[in-house]
Amino acid sequence: MILSGYYSQQYLLYIFAFVIIMIAQSSVQRAYNRYKQIRNEKGITGKDAARMILDANGLHNIPVEVSTGGSLSDHYDPVHHVVRLSSDIYYNTSIASIAVAAHEVGHVIQHKEHYGFIAIRNRILPVANIASQLGWVILTIGLFMFVSTPVVLYIGLSMIGVVLLFQIVTLPVEFNASSRAIKQLQSMHMINEDEKPYVKGMLKAAAFTYVAAVLATLAQILRILLMILGNNRRNND
């Protein structure tokens, strides 16, 4: 059975994946806790910031609603064409509120302008959803069946590869949405030069979670490949 052949590199990759995700989650939570305490000078709520940017870009038909998903559940729903903001972001006048709200509206503008990476991500999304749900299950089964039926492991590994591809394509989408957010907030005079670094700090912390997800998935794939190579070496000895 392939599980019997762990190397120290495999442990290190597993630990790396775990640590990088913990750091990313801690980083965004710290940034959010910090910037939600800082009121923006204009006293603009997240809901108002989103509404103003949408209207300025001719997106009057896109509603802004309160998300029922709890803290940091903010997102743009391209299926129902609605921006959903968590209650803290929706109602508060903090730097975090307008930064997150503007970022989500950045995604709306991406769809309006048919931003290239959005189109690619949307094509991958259905397959990535299935792969993320089944990939690790099939991979785990494949580890136990590797000697008799190695194809199962390779199918699982391929599915995780699709997840990694989706995560990589997501990076420019998120970075671009943050860039659009800062430009919109500045051009519409919702923030001043003193507030700009705070907005950037909030958005950079959020973006790091996507970078961490890519690194963690890549580390897990490398760990499985090392296990396969180690098993093949033992079989050839």
Termini Cα distance of the chain: 16
Q: Are the C-beta atoms of 106 and 180 separated by less than 8 Å?
A: yes
Task: Show the tokens assigned to 231.
Answer: 């098993």
Q: How far apart are CA 35 and CA 38, in angstroms?
A: 5
Q: Which tokens belong to 18?
A: 């775990």
Q: Is the dihedral of CA 98, 104, 110, 112 positive or negative?
A: negative
β-bridge partners, 85: 66
In the numeric block, the tokens 């989500």 are attached to 104
Contact partners, residue 80, CB within 8 Å, separation at least 6: none
Q: Is the alpha carbon torsion for 205, 207, 210, 216 positive or negative?
A: negative
Rg (CA), the chain: 21
To the query of whether residue 195 is one of the catalytic residues in this protein, the response is no
Among positive and negative, which fits the CA dihedral 140, 145, 146, 152?
Answer: negative
Catalytic residue (choose from 65, 104, 113, 195): 104
The C-alpha atoms of residue 170 and residue 193 are separated, in whole angstroms, by 29
Query: Which residues are known to be catalytic?
Result: 104
